[in-house]
Amino acid sequence: MKRIYYYYMALSGFFGLFILLMLWQTVLAPSQNFPVVVVLLGTVAPLLLPMRGLLNANLKSCTWMSYLSLFYFTYGISEAYLSSSPAELCYASLEIFFSLLLCAGCGFFVYKTE
């Protein structure tokens, strides 16, 4: 597969994860225990740190985004395990999918450059 396809895979995983987390924490199932701003700072803000480099196809930023996506994979696994409703299980499964898409896309994008 060409290198650019892995980059597109990483971008689709990133934007899918970003949109899912924004919708999940604000519209679909907001937290009852914490303010929405605190939850968004904890879940969405780490994605914004290497975003500029990812959009510019910087290899270091893609590497760090791949590492960061593993945190979201772990968070999705824990949310799926602890989910109390089928809707939250669906959101957690989507988070797992998008985080794996992001990790694989960034990882193969960086690997193909060597």
pLDDT in tens, 71-83: 999 999 999 999 8
Contact 70, 99 (CB under 8 A): yes
pLDDT for res 83: 81
**Mean pLDDT value across the chain:** 91
Amino acid (one-letter) located at 66: S
Q: Produce one character per residue of 24-34: b if its CB has 16 or more CB atoms within 10 Å, e if not.
A: bbeeeeeeeee
The domain segmentation of the chain, as residue ranges, is: 3-113
Query: Model confidence over 24-48: pLDDT tens digits?
Result: 889 988 878 888 899 889 999 999 9
Is 7 a residue whose pLDDT tops 70?
Answer: yes
* pLDDT attached to residue 34: 87
Q: What is the pLDDT of residue 16?
A: 96
